[in-house]
Amino acid sequence: MSIMQGCKTCAWENLHNTQVDDSRSQEQWAQIVGVGSSSINRHLKHVNKRPATDSPDGSYKWVFSETEFDGNSQAYDRELSTNDVEDFLLTKGLNPDEWDYTFRFSEWEQRTKNGEVHLLHAFKVSGRRKAVAVTAANLDYITEYMRSWELPKADPATTQDHSFVLIPTDFQIGKVDWNGGTQETVDQVMGSFARAGWFAVQNKPKEIVLIDAGDIVENIYSTSSQLGTNDLGLPHQVAAAFELMLAGIKLLAPLSPSLKYVCVPSNHGSHRLGPKSPAGAVHEDWGIMLAKIMRTAVKLSPDLAHVEIIIPDDYHDSLSFDTAETTIGVVHGHQTGSPDKIGDWWKGQSHGNMPTARARILVTGHWHSLRVQQSGDARYIIVGAASDRGSSWFTNNRGERSDSGIVGFTTRRNDWADLQIF
Select from 310, 358, 364, 305 the least CA-distant residue to 334: 364
Select from 331, 291, 285 the least CA-distant residue to 308: 291
> Which of 83-87, 123-127, 278-282, 288-292 shows the highest mean pLDDT?
288-292
> Which of 15-19, 23-27, 57-61, 78-82 shows the highest mean pLDDT?
78-82
pLDDT above 50: residue 181: yes
pLDDT above 70: residue 395: no
Q: Please state the rounded mean pLDDT for residues 16-29.
A: 74
Per-residue confidence (pLDDT) for residue 284, from 0 to 100: 95
pLDDT above 80: residue 267: yes
Give residue limits of the domains in the chain. Answer: 8-47, 53-129, 139-421
pLDDT above 80: residue 147: no
More confidently predicted of 345 and 40:
345
In this prediction, residue 56 has a pLDDT band, given cuts at 50, 70 and 90, of very low
In this prediction, residue 65 has a pLDDT band, given cuts at 50, 70 and 90, of low
Per-residue confidence (pLDDT) for residue 331, from 0 to 100: 98
Residues 266/283, Cβ–Cβ less than 8 Å: no
Q: CA torsion sign, 244 to 247 to 252 to 257?
A: positive
Select from 215, 232, 247 the least CA-distant residue to 181: 232
pLDDT above 90: residue 304: yes
Per-residue confidence (pLDDT) for residue 90, from 0 to 100: 83
Residues 335/348, Cβ–Cβ less than 8 Å: no
In this prediction, residue 52 has a pLDDT band, given cuts at 50, 70 and 90, of very low
Secondary structure (3-state) at 246: helix
Q: 126: number of CA atoms within 13 Å, CB side? A: 2
Whole-structure pTM value: 0.68
Other CB atoms within a 10 A radius of the CB of residue 240 amount to 25
Q: Please state the rounded mean pLDDT for residues 2-19.
A: 62
pLDDT tens-digit readout, 398-416: 566 678 899 999 999 999 9
CATH topology for 139-421 is Purple Acid Phosphatase; chain A, domain 2 (3.60.21)
Q: Please state the rounded mean pLDDT for residues 143-157.
A: 74
Q: CA torsion sign, 233 to 235 to 239 to 241?
A: positive
Per-residue confidence (pLDDT) for residue 48, from 0 to 100: 55
Per-residue confidence (pLDDT) for residue 259, from 0 to 100: 98
pLDDT above 90: residue 9: no
Q: Please state the rounded mean pLDDT for residues 227-254.
A: 91
DSSP secondary structure letter of residue 15: H
Select from 383, 388, 387 the least CA-distant residue to 419: 383
In this prediction, residue 98 has a pLDDT band, given cuts at 50, 70 and 90, of confident
pLDDT above 70: residue 54: no
- The sheet carrying 99-111 orders its strands as 53-54, 60-64, 68-73, 117-129, 99-111
Please state, rounded to an integer, the average pLDDT across all residues of the chain: 85
